[in-house]
Amino acid sequence: MIAVRKPTAADWLRGLIFNVWMGGSALVVGTLFLPVLLVAPNLALGAVRVWCRAALRALELICGIRVELRGLHHLPRTGVLIAGKHQSMLDTVAPFAFLACPTIVLKRELLSIPIYGWYAKRSGMIPIDREGAAKTLRGLIKDVRQRFDEGRQVLIFPEGTRVLPGAAPDYKPGIAALYKELAVPCVPLATNSGLHWPAHGIARIPGTVVFEVLEPIPAGLKRASFMRELETRIEQATAALVAADAGPVTEPEADRVAS
């Protein structure tokens, strides 16, 4: 297991201040843009982008966490399926800074959160019932096709939940079904976000979070070949980012948290 730096008292304090800022700014921005949400829902994505970019700036100023983007030349601007490593809530914020017109696949329960849920729904995010099996998959394929027709980029987290840095991967079959039915390339996305914005707790650990866009996997691979290629690319790139940032191996920790 990767050695994640133990948070200091200062990390917890910075995290607390940042969380207060996040909540307060979401309330302010959400309220100011509420007429947009009601009158012109097609502009809701702009409000989300404004807040997410402000959050990244605040994260750097308050917590000393900088976000670095790599490999953007691999990323088509429209109609693309992106499969990302999920270690942190930051993985759902940062994409709005570097994707032209993003849609994130998220669990349906998040739509019940005031303000967040309203904007997620209005800005075209795709909610899914993770227990819905075949019915959920059919609906997901339909929704992703519609977003592609709108020229959007769709980001899905193949493991379905946040995973601690260095934990064993657990890729779900839904991404393979999407890849096959949509017949499009799939762009892997690696990150080390969990080292600096942990999946649980409010501590924020200074450093550089890297999001690395990898070379697309071409359409048309067999299911097993695609899953093997996707997992290999994401896990190898993520392991390299984490190892370069985290340090040597230490005692195992719990490896999965609810997203």
Predicted confidence (pLDDT) per residue in 55-78, tens digit:
999 999 999 999 999 999 998 877
Mean pLDDT of the chain: 88
End-to-end CA distance of the chain: 20
Contact of 191 with 91, CB cutoff 8 Å: yes
Domain-located, residue 258? no
Pick the most confident of 5-9, 102-106, 157-161, 211-215: 211-215
> Which domain, by its residues, includes 204?
9-246
Which pLDDT value is given to residue 246?
Answer: 64
Helix axes 133-149, 174-182, angle to 10 degrees: 40
The C-alpha atoms of residue 189 and residue 198 are separated, in whole angstroms, by 18
Structural domain includes residue 115: yes
Is the pLDDT at 255 greater than 70? The verdict is: no
Kindly state whether residue 165 falls inside one of the protein's structural domains: yes
Q: What is the pLDDT averaged over residues 165-175?
A: 91
Q: Give CA torsion, residues 101, 104, 109, 113, to 10 deg.
A: -40
Report the pLDDT value the prediction gives residue 137, as an integer from 0 to 100: 83
pLDDT at 248 over 80: no
Answer yes or no: is 252 within a domain. Answer: no
Pairwise CA distance, residues 166 & 42, whole Å:
39
**94-129 pLDDT per residue, tens:** 999 888 889 999 988 888 888 888 888 888 899 987
Q: Which residue has the tokens 């739509």?
A: 111
> Does residue 4 sit within a domain?
no
**194, 171, 184: which is closest to 145 by C-alpha?**
184
In a domain, 126, yes or no: yes
3-state SS of the chain is CECCCCCCHHHHHHHHHHHHHHHHHHHHHHHHCHHHHHHCHHHHHHHHHHHHHHHHHHHHHHHCEEEEEECHHHCCCCCEEEEECCCCHHHHCCHHHHCCCEEEEEEHHHHHCCCHHHHHHHCCCEEECCCCHHHHHHHHHHHHHHHHHCCCEEEECCCCCCECCCCCCCCCCHHHHHHHHHCCCEEEEEECHHHCCCCCCCCCCCEEEEEEECCCECCCCCHHHHHHHHHHHHHHHHHHHHHHHHCCECCCCCCECCC
Q: Is 3 part of any domain?
A: no
| pLDDT of the residue at 185 | 93
Residue type for position 171: Y
Query: What is this structure's pTM?
Result: 0.88
Give a yes or no: residue 255 inside a domain.
Answer: no
Inform me whether the pLDDT recorded for 173 exceeds 90: no
Q: Mean of the pLDDT values across residues 235-242?
A: 96
CATH of the domain at 132: 3.40.1130
The per-residue pLDDT for 249 is 41
Could you give the number of structural domains in the chain? Answer: 1
Which pLDDT belongs to residue 139? 87
